[in-house]
Structure 1
Amino acid sequence: MNTFEDPITSGPSNTSAPLGKAQGFYLLNSFNEYTLFDVFTANITEGDYKGTIAIFGQVREVDPIRYLTVIGGTGSFLGARGLAKNRLIDIDHAPPAKWTMSFELDLYY
C-alpha cells in the first residue's frame, strides 16, 4: 500500500498550469500482473471550478485506457458521479517510480 500527493496540471507537463492536487492511496492487487487499486481525491483549487472529485478503480498497466468511477464531489462538483477515463502518458520505473497520466472526466450532477 502506498500513499501519494501529486500535482494536477492542465496538461501532461509539470510546467503546465497547476489545478490542484491528487491525494490518495493505491494497493497492488494482483499476483500475475502490475495492477493497482486506486482510491483518491482530485482537489481542484485553481480556475473557475473549485472543489474535490472522489475517484476509485483498478489501474492495469497494460491497458491503454482505464475507466475509474467518480463516486462524489464537493464545492463546484457537489454530488458528482461519472467516469474518469485514464491514459498513461509516461512511466519511469526507477525508484521512486513516476507516472504521468491524463484524465478525461464525464461528470453527472
Structure 2
Amino acid sequence: MDEHKSLADNMDEFRKLIQDLKSMSITMVDEDQAVILLNSLPKSYANFIDTLKYSRQTLKLEEIKSAINAKNIENKASGKSDADGLMVRGRSDKRQWKRNGNGLGLRTRD
C-alpha cells in the first residue's frame, strides 16, 4: 500500500485488483486474499498485523477488513494518522571535546 494515501483509498485499490483478477478468470482463496491484504498494510501496522496473523487459525477476508477498519477508526479517535511515527530531532548546538589537565576529555559548548 502507498503510505501517502489514506487507508480507504488503499482498500479501494486492493478491491479493484481482486476484481481485475476475477475478470481474468483467476480466483483466489479467501484466506490468500486476507494474507495479501495484511502484508500490504503500511509498516505502522506491524504489531496489528502480527496480532491478526498469529491469533487465529484461519484468516477470513471479511474479518480482516473489519479489523482494519476498526483499527483505522481507533487511530483517528486517538489522534493518530495512518502513517504516524516517532520523529527525533538532534541537538542543534555544537559540542567539542577538550582535554583538561589530567588527560580526561570533557565536553564543552562553543
**TM category, shorter:** under 0.3
> Which structure shows the bigger proportion of residues in helix conformation?
2
Scaled by the length of structure 2, what TM-score is found?
Answer: 0.24
- RCO higher in 1 or 2 (8 Å CA, sep ≥ 6)? 2
Q: Larger radius of gyration, structure 1 or 2?
A: 2
Greater percentage in strand: 1
